[in-house]
């Protein structure tokens, strides 16, 4: 799985090592961190592009992110696509949770799902929320889910 920085620079180490190095570097600089993980997707013809982001927020000092992109030609319903996004975010959250616990870094999983029933993505809200919460993660949906709705969204446009 290839990860990169926002600048486009490809990470040369596994994401787990990169996250640990990042936490150590940022805490040594006196920064209090929070990590938000989110995924968004965009359908373009027969292809669906996915972007998953790990957003590091520095308390009072901005943030930065690591990005993984992939694509599929599998046809999916809107609900299936939303739950696929959630699955990608949970996979990464699960890989990182022990490390984040070790360093006492808060973690949120963001879902690009609208809480307003007028939007199509809302049909996946209850399943996504149940899945994320049952895994023991903090869940955020739109409009609070900036990692998926804004950060990951910019990577699939």
Answer whether 37's CB lies under 8 Å from 108's CB: yes
Q: Which contacts qualify for 73-82: CB closer than 8 Å, 24 or more apart?
A: 73/46, 73/47, 73/48, 74/48, 75/46, 76/48, 78/120, 78/121, 78/123, 78/124, 79/123, 79/124, 79/127, 81/41, 81/43, 81/48, 82/111, 82/112, 82/113, 82/121, 82/123, 82/124, 82/128
Domains of the chain (ranges; CATH) run 4-156 (3.30.420)
Hey, how many other C-beta atoms are within 10 angstroms of the C-beta on 75?
10
pLDDT at residue 76 in the model: 95
pLDDT at residue 96 in the model: 98
- Structure letter (DSSP) for residue 61: S
pLDDT at residue 122 in the model: 84
**Longest CA span, the chain:** 47
pTM value is 0.94
pLDDT, the chain, mean: 95
Q: Where are the alpha helices (DSSP H) in the chain?
A: 15-28, 78-102, 125-134, 146, 153-156
For 66-118, write each residue's pLDDT tens digit. 999 999 999 999 999 999 999 999 999 999 999 999 999 999 999 998 888 88
C-alpha 151/C-alpha 37 separation (Å) is 10
For 122-131, write each residue's pLDDT tens digit. 888 889 999 9
What phi-psi label fits residue 8: left (phi over 0), alpha (psi between -120 and 50 degrees) or beta?
left
């Amino acid at each position: 799985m290839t990860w990169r920085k926002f600048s486009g620079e490809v990470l040369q180490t596994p994401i787990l090592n990169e996250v640990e190095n990042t936490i150590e570097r940022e805490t040594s600089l006196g920064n209090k961190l929070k990590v938000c993980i989110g995924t968004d997707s965009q359908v373009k013809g027969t292809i669906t592009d996915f972007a998953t982001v790990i957003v590091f927020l520095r308390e009072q000092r901005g943030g930065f992110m690591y990005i993984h992109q992939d694509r599929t030609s599998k046809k999916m319903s809107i609900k299936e696509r939303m739950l696929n996004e959630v699955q990608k975010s949970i996979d990464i959250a699960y890989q990182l949770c022990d490390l984040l616990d070790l360093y006492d870094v808060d973690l949120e999983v963001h879902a690009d799902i609208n809480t307003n029933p007028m939007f199509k993505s809302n049909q996946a809200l209850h399943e996504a929320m149940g899945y994320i919460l049952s895994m023991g993660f903090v869940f955020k949906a739109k409009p609070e889910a900036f990692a998926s709705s804004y950060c990951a969204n910019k990577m699939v446009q």
